[in-house]
Amino acid sequence: MNAIELLKADHERVKAILTQLSESTERGVKKRTDLLAKLEMEITIHTKIEEEILYPAFKEAGGKEQDIMYYEAKEEHRTVDALVLPDLKQTDPATPEFSGRVKVVKELLEHHIEEEEEEMFPQAEKLLGKKKLEELGAQMEAMKAEYKKSLSSPSLAA
């Protein structure tokens, strides 16, 4: 699977989780908690493979316009990872506040996904070419598998 196909598949999973989360009710505390954990894992792994593999290759192959896109995408990741997601995790899933925060996370992520898929990915396909995207995809799949294993293995510090 090439890098762009892999990332688009991740986007579909994230959007599906966000839809389920936004359609959940305050009574579905366990469901909300489980979905939030799934969302966090998907986003964490996705961000890591994008920022460590695709983004640097995209930035290196491009010019000033790609530099700007690179930094904007990284800033959107930072906003979600450092501000929005931690706030959502601190919010009681049995409250309307949780619903409001889910809506904001969903809007931010959908905007980010749309920009990547409509602007960055088509440019990456032109700049990097089929062969390079296949190589990057293989690297991403390996990193993803490794990262999922490390996230699911029990902590030794327990």
Degrees to nearest 5, angle at CA 17 with 107 and 26: 85
pLDDT tens-place string over residues 115-134 = 999 999 999 999 999 999 99
- Is 145 domain-assigned? yes
Q: Find the CATH number of the domain harbouring 70.
A: 1.20.120.520
Q: d(Cα 71, Cα 73) in Å, to the nearest integer?
A: 5
Domain coverage including residue 97: 3-149
Distances (CA, A) of 124 to 13, 19, 118, 143: 22, 28, 11, 20
Number of independent structural domains in the chain: 1
**Do the domain assignments include residue 126?**
yes
High-pLDDT (> 70) share of the chain, %: 96
Q: Is the per-residue pLDDT at 158 higher than 50?
A: no
- Position 123 scores a pLDDT of 97
The whole-model pTM stands at 0.92
DSSP 153: S
Residue 96 lies in a domain: yes
Q: Does residue 35 lie in a domain region?
A: yes
Check residue 154 and report its DSSP letter. Answer: P
Contact by Cβ (8 Å): 56, 143: no
pLDDT at 155: 56
Q: What is the separation, in whole angstroms, between the first and last Cα of the chain?
A: 37
103 falls within a domain: yes
Summarised one tens digit per residue, pLDDT across range 17-68 is 999 999 999 999 999 999 999 999 999 999 999 999 999 999 999 999 999 9
